[in-house]
């Protein structure tokens, strides 16, 4: 029974990894093609479908950690996936005014390259993934912060997702100020996550070398 469950676990994770990989594989290809042919203003429209698919599927990585399918700690996975979902749905999808900015190109390319490695990837691809992030993580974070900042005036003017008093719940929420809080979290959060990923790089490459 244990052997069957282990085989099903490996099969499920393989299917999941391949699905996400194929989604991310499309993103840089479409982004670079559109960038060269039509300009950065059209990159988001070209990559929207695979980007939404691949990034939304990452929610399952949190579930995998919670149920023990993978060893990745949820405390490390949740902030990274949460911030990316926020940028994907809460900024780019919610505020079309941000989609034509050049930062969208650096964002989706940084995200996609760091994600294009399967759990059973060959050692050279594993090395590439954990080495390119040294440059791509800062460019991705800079793009995230920049796009949130660009979206701020549109949040304030539209009052989208904001809840005003009075209402039957006696509760108010301002999406504009929530975004400012999110920007503030990036200040201590980004160096922490960068240091954590450096540690993961050291462990992953040492394990690959030992094999």
Which residues are catalytic, by number? 137, 144
Local structure of 163: helix, strand or coil: strand
Rounded CA Rg of the chain: 19
In contact, 125 and 185? CB cutoff 8 Å: no
Distance in angstroms (rounded) separating the CA atoms of residues 13 and 131: 24
Distance in angstroms (rounded) separating the CA atoms of residues 200 and 151: 33
Q: Is the dihedral of CA 169, 171, 176, 178 positive or negative?
A: negative
**Omega within 30 of 0 (cis) for the link into 166:** yes
Angle at 139 between CA 119 and CA 17, to 5 degrees: 15
């Amino acid at each position: 029974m244990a052997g069957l469950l282990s085989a099903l676990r490996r099969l499920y994770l393989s299917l999941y990894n391949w699905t996400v990989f194929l989604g991310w594989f499309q993103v840089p290809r479409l982004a670079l093609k559109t960038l060269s042919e039509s300009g950065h203003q059209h990159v988001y429209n070209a990559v929207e479908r695979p980007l939404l698919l691949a990034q939304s599927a990452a929610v399952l990585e949190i579930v995998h950690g919670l149920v023990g399918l993978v060893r990745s700690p949820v405390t490390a996975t949740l902030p990274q996936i949460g911030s990316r979902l926020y940028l994907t749905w809460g900024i780019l999808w919610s505020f079309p005014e941000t989609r034509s900015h050049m930062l969208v190109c650096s964002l989706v390319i940084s995200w996609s390259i760091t994600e294009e490695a399967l759990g059973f990837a060959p050692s050279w691809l594993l090395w590439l993934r954990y080495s390119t992030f040294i440059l791509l993580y800062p460019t991705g974070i800079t793009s995230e912060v920049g796009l949130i900042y660009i979206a701020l005036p549109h949040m304030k003017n539209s009052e989208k997702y904001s809840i005003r008093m009075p209402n039957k719940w006696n509760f108010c929420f301002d999406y504009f100020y929530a975004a400012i809080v999110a920007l503030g979290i990036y200040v201590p959060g980004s160096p922490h996550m960068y240091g954590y990923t450096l540690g993961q790089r050291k462990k992953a490459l040492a394990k690959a070398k030992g094999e």
